[in-house]
């Protein structure tokens, strides 16, 4: 049996622990000498790079649909803190540095989130759909992923994103960070047409290369009675005039436990 954390034995200590973690979390970023992107520009950079959208309301979650509408509310608050963000050369995008105070004027609502191995409604839940989308967008650029964390458990299929493309965030613990190591500025644009969340990346100069992803997977395996999903994410650089692949690079390997029944006929390797 897993050893319980101190805050599980004494729940009244949890608010103090969260306060401590958040203080240390942001203090570390203040001292790490990175330049964090903060400029929100109303004028779009001229050259489009990539765009995509995903459905906000997921009726397949298996939980009260009200949580999905609460998630939409939360996503709009967080997205407003980074819509139009310009990431200049040498700057780093941090999910939490931007939306730290997204609920300062308008509170978040309870959304679904994984807490101590269980899905439940928590204040501000559902923001991972925004971090997932941002990751998916920047994977189609030459920007450098500095910090990214897969979900520990997926309890229902995530709408819109390919397997292996996820970036869970938890204030004080887990962030999504992306650094601009190029000579050009990139801009993040977000909006909500109909029941979608749409993201776009623009650039200050015409991109020299196109980029595409190859995901090796998903592959499923069992160990100790639990099912896991494995996916390896590669990015290829293409010649824009011919579409010819010039270089392919492994970006990361993702492994997540699956907490919902897989479709009938799914191949699952046994590793017990």
Tell me: the pLDDT tens digits for 220-265?
999 988 999 999 999 999 988 887 888 899 999 999 999 888 888 8
Contact criterion met (CB below 8 Å) for 228 and 255 = yes
Contact criterion met (CB below 8 Å) for 168 and 152 = yes
Residue 186 confidence (pLDDT): 98
Q: Say what percent of the chain tops pLDDT 90.
A: 68
Does position 1 have pLDDT exceeding 60, yes or no? Answer: no
Give the count of alpha carbons within 13 A of 2, CB side only.
Answer: 7
The answer, as to whether pTM is greater than 0.85, is: yes
Residue 124 confidence (pLDDT): 93
Residue 223 confidence (pLDDT): 92
Indicate the pLDDT class of residue 8, thresholds 50, 70 and 90.
low
Contact criterion met (CB below 8 Å) for 171 and 25 = yes
- CA-to-CA separations, 227 to 136, 255, 270, in angstroms, rounded: 24, 10, 9
Does position 14 have pLDDT exceeding 70, yes or no? Answer: no
Residue 32 confidence (pLDDT): 93
Residue 45 confidence (pLDDT): 98
DSSP assignment, residue 24?
Answer: H
Rounded CA separation 102/255 (Å) = 30
Residue 6 confidence (pLDDT): 58
pLDDT tens, residue by residue, 57-83: 988 777 889 999 999 999 999 999 999
Residue 63 confidence (pLDDT): 81
Residue 188 confidence (pLDDT): 98
């Amino acid at each position: 049996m897993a050893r319980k954390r101190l805050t599980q034995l004494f729940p009244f200590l949890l608010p103090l622990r969260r306060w401590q973690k958040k203080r240390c979390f942001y203090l570390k970023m203040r001292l790490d000498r990175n330049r964090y992107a903060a400029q929100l520009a109303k004028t779009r950079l001229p050259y489009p790079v990539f765009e995509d959208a995903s459905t906000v309301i997921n009726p397949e979650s298996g939980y009260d649909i009200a949580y999905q509408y609460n998630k939409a509310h939360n996503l709009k608050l967080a997205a407003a803190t980074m819509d139009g963000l310009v990431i200049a050369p040498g700057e780093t995008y941090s999910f939490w540095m931007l939306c730290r105070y997204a609920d300062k004027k308008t509170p978040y609502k309870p959304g679904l989130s994984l807490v101590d191995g269980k899905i439940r409604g928590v204040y501000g839940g559902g923001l991972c759909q925004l971090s997932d989308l941002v990751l998916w967008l920047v994977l189609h650029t030459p920007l450098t992923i500095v910090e990214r964390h897969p979900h520990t458990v997926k309890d229902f299929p995530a709408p819109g994103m390919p397997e292996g493309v996820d970036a869970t965030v938890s204030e004080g613990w887990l962030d999504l960070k992306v650094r601009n190591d190029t000579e050009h500025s990139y801009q993040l644009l977000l909006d909500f047409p109909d029941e979608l969340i749409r993201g776009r990346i623009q650039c200050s100069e015409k991109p020299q290369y196109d980029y595409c992803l190859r995901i090796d997977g998903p592959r499923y395996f069992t160990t100790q009675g639990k099912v896991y999903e494995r996916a390896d994410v590669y990015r290829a650089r293409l010649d824009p005039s011919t579409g010819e692949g010039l270089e392919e690079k492994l970006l990361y390997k993702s492994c997540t436990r699956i907490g919902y029944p897989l479709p009938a006929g799914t191949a699952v390797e046994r590793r017990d």
